[in-house]
Chain A
Amino acid sequence: AQTVTQSQPEMSVQEAETVTLSCTYDTSESDYYLFWYKQPPSRQMILVIRQEAYKQQNATENRFSVNFQKAAKSFSLKISDSQLGDAAMYFCAYTGDKIIFGKGTRLHILP
């Protein structure tokens, strides 16, 4: 069975600094997608970034980038130049035939 593990329940980063959120997953499939979703306090979950497993190039979206290591089954999210609005719960997700989420990492931004 597929699993997604986020080993950091909470993290803090100083505003303008860089932070990396870790995610590992387990699957026997070769074709799948990985996502990072962000849920700000009292707001709905939105997609931050998406990675297709067949692509070797790491996905980037502005200040957000991933380090996708397929052999190691690792999919970390790097946030550069952290902003106060980045404070949220971040969920890593894997999808093959259905989507599987990790437990989430709560990110605090320190002014």
Chain B
Amino acid sequence: EAGVTQFPSHSVIEKGQTVTLRCDPISGHDNLYWYRRVMGKEIKFLLHFVKESKQDESGMPNNRFLAERTGGTYSTLKVQPAELEDSGVYFCASSPFTSSSTDTQYFGPGTRLTVL
């Protein structure tokens, strides 16, 4: 069974540019989560999809971040325009639809975003 995959693994962009991160969850997993880890700090929750619906987006930093999950399969996280403080590792995780956040979450390898 394929795990959670994320693309790209690394992205280096200049301030003001746009970047789109992609996450493919484990097939059949209804829950999809995005997290971000800034260097040396905690992994912070960004948002949670149940299928194609945003269940909780309380962790999204600001309106420069847009997450979508059309069709309830893969998800994209777009940052537009990127700022220096957006640099970090963006993780995606998925879990089956049972009890949502208390489920074991399966994480992707992360996308390391560097904004110059």
Contact = CB atoms under 8 A, between A and B. Distances in A.
Interface string B17-37: 000000000000000010100
B104 A50 contact: yes
Interface in B31-54: 33, 35, 40-45, 48
Contacts of B59: 98
Given A44-B110, A45-B91, A98 B56 contact: yes
A66 to B, nearest CB: 15
B102 interface: yes
Given A4-B42, A45-B91, A91-B43, A99 B105 contact: yes
Contact of A101 (B4, B42, B106, B109): B42
Interface in B75-116: 91, 101-102, 104-110
B91 A103 contact: no
Interface in A81-101: 91, 95-101
Contacts of A96: 101
Interface residues of B, number: 24
A95 B107 contact: no
A20 to B, nearest CB: 21
A98 B101 contact: yes
A33 B108 CA distance: 21
Contact of A99 (B3, B4, B40, B45): B45
Contacts of B45: 98-100
Interface of A: 4, 32-33, 35, 37, 39, 42-47, 50, 91, 95-104
